[in-house]
Structure 1
C-alpha cells in the first residue's frame, strides 16, 4: 500500500513538473478566456411565453422603474408598479434584490407594494433579503419593524434563524457589536429557538461576525461571561477556531498564543480548520516561513492539509513575489486527492498581476483551463486592477469585450473597476456607455463610483448632469460624501447658479 502511494506521488510530481515546463515555455501575453457558451450541452429550444408578462420582461420592467430618476421611492413608484401590471413572484423579487442591494429605498418600496397585493405569496427568502438590504443601509429601525410585525403572523411565516443571522452580521459590520449581542439574546428568547443546536449555531455565528469585523475582544469577553454563568460550559473547537482567527485578524499574536496554550491545557484537539486558521494568521502577519513549518506539525498530529491550509501560503508567497516557492507549494497541493481550487489559481493570478507580469498570469489561466478549473469574473478582476493602476484603459476595455463575447456575466466589481478606469482617463462618453450596460444587467454604482462620476461631470462643466446624479444617489438611498456636497455648493454659489 505504501509503495503504491509512493508511486502515485512520484507520478504526480512528474506530471506536475511537465506542467511547469509547459508553463515556462510559453511567453506570449494573451489572456485566455474559454467560451462559456459552448460548455453546456445543447438544450431543446424554449417555447415562447404564452403571454407578454414573462419573468424576463417583468425583471426588465421592474429594473427600469427602480432605476428611473423620475420616480421617487414611495407612492410615485408604487403607482408605476401597479400600472405596469407586474406579477411579483418570490424568484423575481429575489433577482431584483440581488441586483439592487445598493439601493435600499426603491427596493423597500417594491417590497411593501408586493406585500399589499391580494395574491402575494410570502417567502422567507424574500423577507430576509429585504432585512439584509435595510441592514446594509443601516436602516435598523425599519428592519426591526418588519421583524416585529412578522412575529405576529402565522408561525410558518415568522422570522427564522437566517433573519437574525443577517441582522447580527449587519450590526457587526456597522460597528455595533453590543446591538449584535442583543439581537442574539432576543432571538434565543423566542420559542422556536428553544433548541440547543440552534442557539449553539447562532452563538458561533455571532462570535464569527464579531471577530471578522474587529470586535474579537468583545467576543472573547462574551465567552467569559457565558462561562462565568455556567462553569461547565466549554467552548467548542469551532469557537476556539473563531477566536483564534479573530486575534490574528486584529494582529494580536500574544492573545492568539495564549488561546492556543489554553486549547492544549484543556485537551482540545486541533483540527484542519485550527491549523488553517494558524497558517492564515501567520501569513497575514508576514510570517509565511513559520506558517510553512506548521505543515510538518500537521503530519505529526495526523491532520491532512487541504485547501484552507495551502491556499493562504500560496497567496502569501504570491503577494511577496516568491513565485518559485508558490508554484512549488502548488505542486505539493496538486498531488493530494483534493487538489488546487479556484482560490489557489486566483492567488497565483493575483500575485503575478500585482507584480505586473501579465505573461505569467495568463499562463496560470491556461493551466487552470487545462486542469478543468474555469476562470471566473473574480479571476479576471485582477487583470482589471492592474490595468486600472497602470492606466491601460484600452486593454481593460478589450478584456471586457472578450469576456462578454465568451459568455461571461461581468460582476459588480468588474464594472466598478471599468468605471474608475475610464473616469481616471476622463473618458466620460465611454464611461456613460459602461454605466448604461451595467445598469441594464441590474447593477448600479456604489458610493465611490458615483462620487467619481459626479466629480468628472463637474470637471467637464456638465453641472446639470452632476446635480442630477447627486440627487439620484439620495433616491437610491446612498448618502453622498460631505466633500462632494461642499464642492458643488461652493462652485454653484461662485457662479451665481443657486
Structure 2
C-alpha cells in the first residue's frame, strides 16, 4: 500500500468507490485530485472505479471524460469499461454518442459484445430512431459478432414497438432457424406488436405457440395478453385469462390490474373496476400508479359519480401518488377549463400538494394551468417556486440574474 513514502492507488480505490456509491461525485472528484497531489498515479483499476461509479451517479458525461483521459494516458479501457459507458450514455439519452463509442471500440481492436450492441439498438428504439437501430443491426450482421438471443430479442422488440411486424416475424423465424430459442420476453414482444397493429388472431396464435414450446407465462406475459384483449373489447376473454393466471398462483402486476380495471370501466362496469382496485390494495401484490388512478377517475366521472371520484383523488394524494397532466385534464373535462370551478380545482390541488411537501408535482399542475391559459395568482406562484428553490445558493443565483436584468 505504501512504496517510497507514497500511498499506492489501491488504498484510494475503496474510498472512491464508497463515495460514488453514496452519490458523492463531487467528493470523489476532490479525493481524486488529492490523490494526484500526493504523487499517487491512478491505475486502470482506479479509472474503472471512477467510470462505473460516475455511471451509477448518472454522470455519463463525466464518465466519458474519464475514458478519454485513460486513452490519453495510455491506459486502454477494456470491453467491460467501454460497455458500461455505452450503457450509461444510452440511459442518459445520448444514444448517438454511445454508438460512436461502440465504433471506436472496433478501431481500438476491441470487439463490442452483444450487450453493447443491444444497448445501442434499445436506445435508438426508445428515441424513435428505428432507421439507426436497423443500421446497428446491419453492422452486427456484417461484423464478426454472431447474432445471439440478446441481439435478436433487442431488434425484434424494436421492430414490434414500431408496428413493423412483417420484419419482426422474419427476424423471429430467422432466430429459430439459427437454433437461438426465443424466450418469454421475445414472445411477449411479438404478441404485444401484433395487438398493436390490430392482428388479434395472430397475437393469440403466437401465445399458443409460446405455451406449446414450453415457455411458462409470467405476470408480464399475462399483462400483455390481458391488456391486448381489453383494448379490443374482448373483456370476457380477458377475464378468463385473469382467472387462469390467478389459478396458476401468478400474482398480477400493476399493468395487469390496470388493464382489467380499464376493460371493466370501458364496459360500463365501474363498480367492478373499483372492487378490483380495492382488491389490488388488499392483496398488496402491486401498487396502483397514476395510470391506475386515472383509469378509475375517468370511469367514475364518465358515470357522473363526482363524489366517489373526489374520494379516490384524496386517496391518491394520501398514498403519495402524484397526479399528472392526464389527471388534471380528466377533472377539467368535468369542471370546464375556462370555468371558475376548473381554476378552483387546480389551485386547490396545487395547495394540497404543497402542504404535503410535493412541490415538484405542484409545479406540474401549474404548467397544466398555463397550457390552459389559466394564470395562477401570485401567492400560488410564490408557494411553489419558493419551496422548490429553497436553498440559499439558488436564491443568490436568481437575485444575481435579476440584478443583471435590471442593470444594477
Q: Which bracket does the TM-score occupy, shorter chain normalised?
A: 0.5 to 0.7
Deviation at 1:356, TM superposition (A): 6.9
Rounded to whole Å, the distance in 2 between the matches of 1:305 and 1:293 is 15
> Are residues 424 and 96 of structure 1, via their aligned partners in 2, closer, same or farther at CA, if it must alter by over 3 Å?
farther
Aligned to 2:296: 348
**Does the CA-based 8 Å contact 1:131-1:163 persist in structure 2?**
no
Aligned to 1:427: 375
Q: Are 1:235 and 2:175 an aligned pair?
A: no
Aligned to 2:222: 275
**Does the CA-based 8 Å contact 1:353-1:382 persist in structure 2?**
no
Q: Are 1:213 and 2:162 an aligned pair?
A: yes
> Are residues 422 and 331 of structure 1, via their aligned partners in 2, closer, same or farther at CA, if it must alter by over 3 Å?
closer
C-alpha deviations, 1:324-365, integer Å up to 9, x for none? Answer: 111222355456462654465564345446767553234235
Rounded to whole Å, the distance in 2 between the matches of 1:177 and 1:54 is 34
Rounded to whole Å, the distance in 1 between the matches of 2:91 and 2:246 is 42
TM (normalized to structure 2)?
0.60
Deviation at 1:221, TM superposition (A): 1.5
Rounded to whole Å, the distance in 2 between the matches of 1:114 and 1:233 is 37
For residues 312-391 of structure 1, what are the structure 2 equivalents within 5 Å? 312-318=259-265, 321-333=268-280, 336=283, 338=285, 341-342=288-289, 344-345=292-293, 347-349=295-297, 351-352=299-300, 359-367=307-315, 374-377=319-322, 379=323, 381-387=325-331, 389=333, 390-391=336-337
> Are residues 339 and 145 of structure 1, via their aligned partners in 2, closer, same or farther at CA, if it must alter by over 3 Å?
closer
Which residues of structure 2 form unaligned runs of 5+? 1-23, 30-50, 390-408
**Does the CA-based 8 Å contact 1:349-1:382 persist in structure 2?**
no
C-alpha deviations, 1:267-315, integer Å up to 9, x for none? Answer: 5554444332221101111222331122344466x35352253331013
Rounded to whole Å, the distance in 1 between the matches of 2:309 and 2:370 is 23
> Are residues 200 and 398 of structure 1, via their aligned partners in 2, closer, same or farther at CA, if it must alter by over 3 Å?
same
> Are residues 416 and 177 of structure 1, via their aligned partners in 2, closer, same or farther at CA, if it must alter by over 3 Å?
same
Aligned to 2:136: 183
Which residues of structure 1 form unaligned runs of 5+? 1-52, 59-87, 98-107, 442-498
**Does the CA-based 8 Å contact 1:135-1:167 persist in structure 2?**
no
**250, 267, 271: which one aligns with 1:304:** 250
Q: Are 1:398 and 2:355 an aligned pair?
A: no
**Does the CA-based 8 Å contact 1:55-1:92 persist in structure 2?**
no
Greater relative contact order: 1 or 2 (C-alpha under 8 angstroms, separation 6 or more)?
A: 1
Q: Are 1:168 and 2:124 an aligned pair?
A: no
Deviation at 1:256, TM superposition (A): 1.3
- 1:214 alignment partner, SS class: coil
C-alpha deviations, 1:138-188, integer Å up to 9, x for none? Answer: xx4x55334323555697xx9776654443234335655454244246468
> Are residues 305 and 418 of structure 1, via their aligned partners in 2, closer, same or farther at CA, if it must alter by over 3 Å?
same
Aligned to 1:144: 99
TM (normalized to structure 1)?
0.51
Aligned alpha-carbon RMSD (Å): 4.8
- 2:176 alignment partner, SS class: helix
Rounded to whole Å, the distance in 1 between the matches of 2:224 and 2:112 is 33
**Does the CA-based 8 Å contact 1:241-1:274 persist in structure 2?**
yes
- 2:360 alignment partner, SS class: coil
> Are residues 294 and 133 of structure 1, via their aligned partners in 2, closer, same or farther at CA, if it must alter by over 3 Å?
closer
C-alpha deviations, 1:443-484, integer Å up to 9, x for none? Answer: xxxxxxxxxxxxxxxxxxxxxxxxxxxxxxxxxxxxxxxxxx
> Are residues 365 and 224 of structure 1, via their aligned partners in 2, closer, same or farther at CA, if it must alter by over 3 Å?
same
**Does the CA-based 8 Å contact 2:82-2:101 persist in structure 1?**
no
**Does the CA-based 8 Å contact 1:171-1:177 persist in structure 2?**
yes
- More off after superposition, 420-429 vs 290-299: 420-429
- 1:251 alignment partner, SS class: coil
C-alpha deviations, 1:225-257, integer Å up to 9, x for none? Answer: 2334x3x44432332222111111222112213
